[in-house]
Each structure stands twice: as C-alpha cells, then as structure tokens.
Homo-oligomer: A and B are copies of this chain.
Amino acid sequence: MTSSEAKPSRAAVTLKTPKGTRDWNGADMLLRDEVFKTITDVFKRHGGTPLDTPVFELKEILAGKYGEDSRLMYDLEDQGGELCSLRFDLTVPFARWLAMNNIQQVKRYQLAKVYRRDQPAIARGRLREFHQCDFDIAGVYDPMIPDAETLRIIVEVFEALGLSITIKLNHRKILDGMFAVAGVSADKIRSISSAVDKLDKMAWPEVKKEMVDEKGLPEDVADRVGEYVRHSGTVAEVVELLSANEQLCANDDIKAGLNDMALLASYLKALDVMHKITFDLSLARGLDYYTGLIYEVINLPPKSDGGETQKKGKKDGPTTQVGSMAAGGRYDNLVGMYGKRTIPCVGVSFGVDRIFTILKARREKEKTINAPSIDVYVMAFGGKEFDGLLPERMDVARRLWGAGIRAEYSPKVKPKLPQQFKAAEDAPLGVILGQDELAAGQVRLKILGNSEDKAESEKDRGMLVKLDDLADEVKKLLVFDTLGKQKQTS
C-alpha cells in the first residue's frame, strides 16, 4: 500500500459491534433466512398474518410487564420528546397493537429482533440483540382450541426444521393453586414462581435458598412447594396424580386448571401432538403476564413415553440441556391493561438464534455445500490486439440481467483469461466473448464443471450461441443443472 492510500487513516477506533450483538452474512445469513422461511411458512399454513412494529416503544407501554427482568431493558436517551425503550419481546407490542386498533380476532405472526441487557453467551446462541419469531392467536374462542393449535404449530415447525423436541407444559392456575395450598402468600406468588422457573438450570437446594433467604419464604412452605413442583410425566399421569391429592383438588384454581388440561388433551390427540408433550409442574416461565397454559420447548425426546411419573432434581444437579428453543403461553389480561376491552391471547415465541446454533453445528458436521450465488460469468478472450471487450461484456450481462439471470463480469478493462476463470469459479456457466464471434452476433456458452484438468477445461471454449438466444440457452442449462448432473453440451 502506498503512503497516499494510507492517508485517510485515523486514530484507533474500536472496531467491533456493541457487546452482545453480531453481524450476519455469508452462510450464516443464508441459514438464518432459511430458518425464518421454514417457520413463517408454517405460520402461513395456519392463516397467520404478518405484523411489524417499531424497534422502540413508549416506555410506559412496556412498564410493569416483565417482572424482575425489566431491569434488562434498553432505554433510549432522553433527547427531548417521548421516553422510549427498545422492545423486550414481541408480545407486548402485539398487545399494544391489538388495543390501539381495537382488533377483536386475529392470528398474527412477527419476526424481529428484540433487546435484553443480559449477560451474553454467544456460543450458546444467547445475545443481547436476538431474534424472536412469534405466532399468537387473539380473540374470544371456545376454551383450549387456539391453545391446542399453537402447540400443533410448535410440532410442525420443529418437524420442518428436522429437530426432535419435547414440549414441557404447565398451567399457571395449577401452579398458583399449588403455591397457595403450600402456604405462599398472594403477594409472593410471582417472585416464588420466578425462583421455581430456575429449576431447569439450578439444583433444588439453591432454588430453595433463594426462596428462603432472598425472598423470605418460611422453610416449611418452601419444602412443600419443592415437593409439589417436582413432578412431571404425561398429561394423563400428572392429571391423575393431582386429582388424587384431596388438598390440591379442593383449590378452585387447580380445579379449573385440571379441567383445561383434560379438554386440551382431547384436542392434542386429534392434532397428533400428544407424543411430544411432558406435563412438568416445575415449569413456571419468568414473565408476569401469563394467565393459563404455559410451555417451553427443549430439544430432547419426551421424558416419559408411557413410563411412571418422574421426579426432577434427583441428583440435586441441574439437568443438561441446550435451553429452550421456543416458549409461550396464554395471557388473557395483557391487552386489557391498555384499553377498555379484554382480549384473550395465546402464543408461542421461537428462539431463532438457538435453533440456528443447533442447525449450524449439524450442517458443519454434514459439510453441506451452499448453492452458487451467481449463474453466469461473462468473460472475454482475444489475441494481441485484445481491448478487453468491456462494453460488450456489459451489454451481454445486461441482456442476462434483463432475463432475470444472475450474471457478473470482471471489473477490469483488460482482464486476463485465467483471472476470469478464477473469478468464475462459483458460477455454473460461463459466457465467452471473442471479437470474431461477436461480429457474427454470437458468443460461446460453456459449462464450468469441476474439471480435473484446469488447462484442459480452459481449452474447451463451449458451444456457439446466437446473442439473441443466449438468455434462453442459459435458462435451459440452469434447469438441467438443478434437475440433475451437468450435461455435456458441445
């Protein structure tokens, strides 16, 4: 590099993206967009309509919706005018949109980035700026029908992605009822619920410590909570277990929750979802706004395939798992917080970044080859007097672009042929221009195979094609290439 080129250099600026954020490009971006498409295609099959909301919302819209997690919100600086924060999830903006537009019934999906000032763990696909892909059903329906469809959507999404999963289910009414029966006072229920939710990452003694020492729960109450929430199994098993406990069954919330679960089970059977479900009484979900069914998806086969009810935390160690790949539940009161009307909602949010991390690892193992990013490379070729034929290469490329074909040419006035072949490496087809052929209104069209002998390949100059037929001929060859192996043509 000459010194004049280096002139614009400046004092060191830290060249990085902000903490917990990343750029997306190349194979990662292609895979990510493939995941997006797979998921949104399922949403569309279920009559979903897309929504896009601003990246920030009024602070007062987001306030009081996220419980303990609110401290992770990104705020915009007060530069005069309204106070705003970056969106924390897609559920609250959806509820705001429903209330603002007085929408009574909708199936909407949204795919967007959300923001949390959490401790990033990049290797596990956990960032501060990350993607959510949400499907929600809003409106007054007969009980558990939209809930069942949401669970069906989860199954279809992971089938389409080729990932085996378990859906852990619980019901906020059952959970809150258990807390009440165990002796947790009403004002402590949400914070104890948050502690219980950590049972998939922390051992019971730690969680109990948090309940007793930090949250001031009497030890005997904590122990009763611990006993109740340790059960999991099939829906039938856990419903039976709870029904057998007279004390629990006397609680109205638990009764209502059990009725919901029995109805849900009949729908899940019709939708062929049952085999993916584990009813897990320790599932609590951190967010405040859930009112009914809650669920979380982990990439493991179902825990109980007809065996007996299992207990969690047996070894007093955390369960090994990659973290939840999707989660959601019913939130019947959130929209009502904004307006006159209550609109019951149920939904699911897919953690696209975690899904991406798992699929990427699998691809790297399988060494999947990416599709070419270009169809045709336009080259020129000539003897001593060769002027590079740049305007002619431009003209040919323009014709190909006009026919919707992806084409490039060397950005040099007089490129050398080997350079052009090298640049053409990723393209399945080459068009070669020569002065004589052009004079006759023709060019050469050549399949750029993975020829063993490079020199030999460069000697084969392809088949002569009329300039006016070029786009059609290219399209024919491209069709052949996608249908089967490359065909010998000249």
Contacts and interface: CB of A to CB of B under 8 A. Distances in A.
Interface string A393-432: 0110010011011111001110000000000000000000
A202 interface: no
Number of copies: 2
B406 A18 contact: no
A66 interface: no
A22 B101 CA distance: 12
Given A49-B26, A342-B6, A18 B272 contact: no
A218 interface: no
B270 A15 contact: no
A390 interface: yes
A374 interface: yes
A228 to B, nearest CB: 27
A270 B271 CA distance: 60
B394 A148 contact: yes
A18 B129 contact: no
Nearest to A336: B8
A381 interface: no
A288 to B, nearest CB: 12
A373 interface: yes
19 contacts: A5-B336, A5-B342, A7-B342, A9-B336, A14-B58, A17-B58, A18-B82, A24-B53, A25-B97, A30-B50, A45-B406, A46-B407, A47-B374, A55-B86, A55-B113, A76-B77, A266-B391, A267-B394, A270-B398
A156 interface: yes
B23 A50 contact: no
Nearest to A55: B55
Given A25-B52, A46-B401, A333-B8, A16 B411 contact: no
Interface string A129-165: 1000000000101100110100010001000000000
A339 interface: yes
Interface string A100-121: 1000000010000101010000
Given A16-B100, A57-B18, A99-B15, A271 B398 contact: yes
